[in-house]
A and B are shown apart, each in its own frame.
Chain A
């Protein structure tokens, strides 16, 4: 992996194009610019290695979730929210051939040059436009047309085209109060609209279910839905009032993702691996790549271990001391003490920083997507400290041919 700098005199225009042509509507987080001044380039070998590992992880994850869906006793060890646990019986009609399964695996490079995977974004991975449009923009700006990339958006469209009639209606379900959610949905919606689909933007509670089929209840958009493209996390969806969200769990309307995604979204996923292996499902790739993970029995933070929230999504509340700001570290420890069941203990691998030509050091999180088991592009973020959180910068990924 190497980082190539975008020429200083081209960065302002690059950023404007990222905002207006590539749906980058959140280019600032507090005092941090979240659009990197660099481009990440993978060697052909690195790319092939990650693709191979990603697809192996995905195979294991999908077999695991199907097994867990049928074995509620084991799934209980994931300490899923009670409202989700109650829905497991309703998910028994889950048909993987009817849905589109999308995940993103977070890869990091360790100081001993091994790949480490810290989690799978199983439920609602984002970053679609950054992985589809930004690489092409960056490639033009640095003028290296020989570099390649995989467009997530193109891969997703290919998969949807296989499963949906082109005059179908797709509802882009998201938290409508957040523009950073809308930017993810708007890119995908615009891309799908070009294919001929009817696109509706709405919130999770703008869908109602009748005879297990989803239909939209938005003003002047009351129509049956052919695909639910969901970007509202399940933990939020189940808080919705009035309660209509049960329908998401047993709907026959195609979904991306179906709530079956919740099993691997729990960071307690490793705690069921032994049971899975006893049932004949190998978790060997996961075991090789995920740092050792333990339950938080009592507040005993061992040297070389960190706390992570069970349902963390953007690197928040991870107790990497050198990455915590102000009194954040102490606050996390206080929170772990109050809610130990909401955290787990994980071995702190040593992340290898990439050094740029101008002497800066950056830690990289390379998110590798899968759609229906196949690699579908990259979404990467980088940070000057070894935690990739909301302050991190988005960085386009290009690949050497």
Chain B
């Protein structure tokens, strides 16, 4: 299977939410001839027992874990929607973020997903890489391929509500600044936000802007 075939498994014709699947890592699978990873773990979903028709999920864990958990969620009815958006470094250069692991792991995920029946209307589980904002460079010769998630990369609150999504569960060790901005928008529009570390039952949270965030230039 090439990157295009794997993309089609995550974004099959006619399924809902697939417009948000980012092609970037799938294109890279072909450019860099990526192979599957050897240490894939079949995970179990521990934080919820069953599919809820009013819930969408954001998984913000290290890339491989996100994909593994996304596939596990597919087994209970959620559609994994990879929104990874990092590009690969210049050949030979060191990079701040390991995009190749995600590209490789998406191949494993695709193979697994192919065998799982998913309803075309299945609710989404957006997959993020919590290492995306690693932008520390020990020296200037390193390629910075870190990336942020922006509100334009995911559905709007209005779209979620129109599609009966009233609750979002965020699976993460820590809600990062870029995702927080998006979640605050959702919260302001009336969507309930829950957080879990992936092992414990999700807890309802209320997010608020820090003092610095309040003074940031208004986004239009």
- A residues sitting closer than 8 Å to B (CB atoms) are 12, 16, 19-20, 24-25, 27-31, 33, 176-179, 182, 200-203, 205-206, 217-222, 242, 316-317, 328, 331-332, 334-335, 390
Contact = CB atoms under 8 A, between A and B. Distances in A.
Interface stretch (B38-46, B136-144, B164-172): B136-144
Nearest to A318: B220
A335 B218 contact: yes
B210 interface: no
A28 B19 contact: yes
B206 interface: no
B141 A219 contact: yes
A31 B159 contact: yes
A217 B220 contact: no
A206 B151 contact: no
Interface of B is mostly: loop
A203 B140 CA distance: 10
B141 A206 contact: yes
18 contacts: A19-B7, A19-B23, A20-B27, A27-B19, A28-B19, A30-B156, A176-B87, A202-B143, A218-B90, A219-B92, A219-B94, A219-B142, A220-B91, A221-B92, A221-B93, A331-B218, A335-B218, A390-B152
B140 A202 contact: no
Contacts of B197: none
Nearest to B160: A31
Interface residues of B, number: 42
A30 B83 CA distance: 12
Given A179-B86, A179-B87, A221-B93, 14 more contacts: A28-B153, A31-B156, A31-B159, A176-B144, A179-B22, A202-B90, A203-B144, A206-B140, A217-B140, A219-B143, A220-B92, A221-B90, A317-B220, A332-B220
Contacts of B55: none
Contacts of B153: 28
A20 B147 contact: no
A199 to B, nearest CB: 9
Contacts of A201: 89-90
B220 A328 contact: yes
Contacts of A390: 152
A158 B182 CA distance: 44
B108 interface: no
Contact of A177 (B23, B140, B146, B158): B146
Interface in B71-125: 85-87, 89-94
Given A19-B27, A218-B93, A219-B94, A30 B145 contact: no
Contacts of B86: 179
Contacts of A29: 152
Nearest to A200: B90
Contacts of A25: 22-24, 27
B155 interface: yes
